[in-house]
Structure 1
């Protein structure tokens, strides 16, 4: 009896199905769901903040130069075409917050100038102001023997000796942020611009005129 060879038995191969793409699709689906969830939460928080802002109706901060006291003024000619200026001016600022929420002020710096020439600077440290409050802050601008040359020195000596009135300009930017439910608003800036006239003989203030340039966000 002859046995029949089993055809193709030695050439059989195992065939496996291609890897499934279900894992990648699930990962992409989870990322899409998380993105939609975070987008919804962000829009929800923004809507809540907008509702609170509309309900509170925040107002701009008021920062006013309330008082100016001249502590010392010294103007000395050094040569025929130059002079030195020394002075100390105490300034009292009043910050008023009429809002229902607090205001956080950053450090503010003020410069005192004569005919556009910077003479000295003063600083007001940063502070937090509660709602419906008024806070007074004091700073002193000191000028120590700043030299003026030629025409500026001649103008200063004439103003001091003939007119007994030296006009100075105080400028500075006050930065603040309004805090609502733990959220801080973008920076709000108020520019202070004051003109003061002082009497070197009497060592006193003659007049003060202030203006505000408005808001800059």
Structure 2
């Protein structure tokens, strides 16, 4: 009788011991996770207060037309497919450098996708203001006539402007003294205003000649007909 009873007591003790061990492991895991979150939070606060991060600045520098295809339909609609090289000037006022990964951004008009912007990976050193970033803008069979007609319906100062949006995410890594220590994600939301009157001559020439060869757009001062305003959001 004593043998089976002792065996049952032993099994009961083992179950209690395993239950207590499981609770200890769970408690240790929770404490470790809380410590990890607290450490990351303190490190982030120290980075913010010590480095005082500011938003990098991007501005249009040059634009060139690399390839295009113009098609007309019923002498009233102009469809454009093109590849454009758009060079940006990147400025970094921060005490730390930024290393950006290559990405693709969407170009939208009235919520509809009309193009893709390919941005290569590049580095912004600390306190730099002359970093040139060449990007490729790809348009695939865009109805320019319809866009211009919609823009002409606007009132006031917006009447001669085509308003587009650039949306997308860019992954970046912070570096101090050539040492990378924090990865972030930047949500990009840019509003672009384009004075379409600069492009009306292209449409008129196509309607007259119907066949255009070796036609290159000339943009003497890009700031006169294109303006950009961006909002950046940072995520760890």
The TM-score normalised by the length of structure 2 is 0.59
Q: Is the 8 A contact 2:189 2:230 kept in 1?
A: yes
Q: Does 1:196 align with 2:213?
A: no
Larger radius of gyration, structure 1 or 2?
A: 1
Number of the residue aligned with 1:179: 174
Partners of 1:36 and 1:59 lie apart in 2 by 34
5+ residue gaps, structure 2 = 151-159, 203-215
Q: Does 1:138 align with 2:134?
A: yes
Number of the residue aligned with 2:225: 208
5+ residue gaps, structure 1 = 1-12, 157-165
Alpha-carbon spacing, 1:118–1:53, altered in 2? closer, same or farther (3 Å): closer
Partners of 1:36 and 1:118 lie apart in 2 by 48
Partners of 1:51 and 1:190 lie apart in 2 by 25
> RMSD of the TM alignment (CA)?
4.1
Give 1:76 shift: 5.9
Which structure's residues are more often strand, by fraction?
1
Give 1:195 shift: 2.7
State how many pairs are aligned: 193
Which of 57, 62, 71 is residue 67 of structure 1 equivalent to?
62
Question: Aligned runs of 1:9-88 on 2, under 5 Å?
Answer: 13-14=1-2, 17=6, 18-19=9-10, 20=13, 23-24=17-18, 27-28=21-22, 30-31=24-25, 32-69=27-64, 77-85=72-80
Q: Is the 8 A contact 1:190 1:214 kept in 2?
A: yes
In structure 2, the residue corresponding to 1:179 is in which secondary structure? strand
Q: Is the 8 A contact 1:73 1:203 kept in 2?
A: no
Alpha-carbon spacing, 1:194–1:44, altered in 2? closer, same or farther (3 Å): closer
In structure 1, the residue corresponding to 2:146 is in which secondary structure? helix
Alpha-carbon spacing, 1:212–1:108, altered in 2? closer, same or farther (3 Å): farther
Partners of 1:64 and 1:86 lie apart in 2 by 25
In structure 2, the residue corresponding to 1:43 is in which secondary structure? helix
In structure 2, the residue corresponding to 1:203 is in which secondary structure? coil
Number of the residue aligned with 1:8: none
Number of the residue aligned with 2:105: 109
Number of the residue aligned with 2:209: none
Number of the residue aligned with 2:154: none
